[in-house]
Amino acid sequence: MNNLVSPEILALSDLPIGSSAIITEISNAMRNPKKFADAGMVPGTRLSMESHAPLGGLLRIKLLGSSLALHRNDGKNIMVKLS
């Protein structure tokens, strides 16, 4: 993953609530990437951030018409471009 990231590109875990983005990269360091690909989380997919858990553990995103919850640590390995 590139450490020099443009301001438009950020980790999914940093996407503000209500924002939409397109997945640009999924890190090779991600645990079980096939599970996320099976859910539609692949580069080019549009998503929106629905909420962050109050204590910061989970993220809820809307993806392909469904809501999906994932751990914030997984979200740090998914890079998105604001749309």
Give residue 5's pLDDT: 55
What is the spatial distance between Cα 15 and Cα 13, in angstroms, rounded to a whole number? 6
Q: How would you write the pLDDT of the chain (83 residues) with one tens digit per residue?
A: 455 556 689 999 999 999 999 999 998 888 788 888 888 899 999 999 999 988 878 999 999 999 999 999 999 999 999 98
What is the spatial distance between Cα 44 and Cα 46, in angstroms, rounded to a whole number? 6
What is the spatial distance between Cα 67 and Cα 81, in angstroms, rounded to a whole number? 19
Question: Residue 63 forms beta bridges with which residues?
Answer: 47, 66
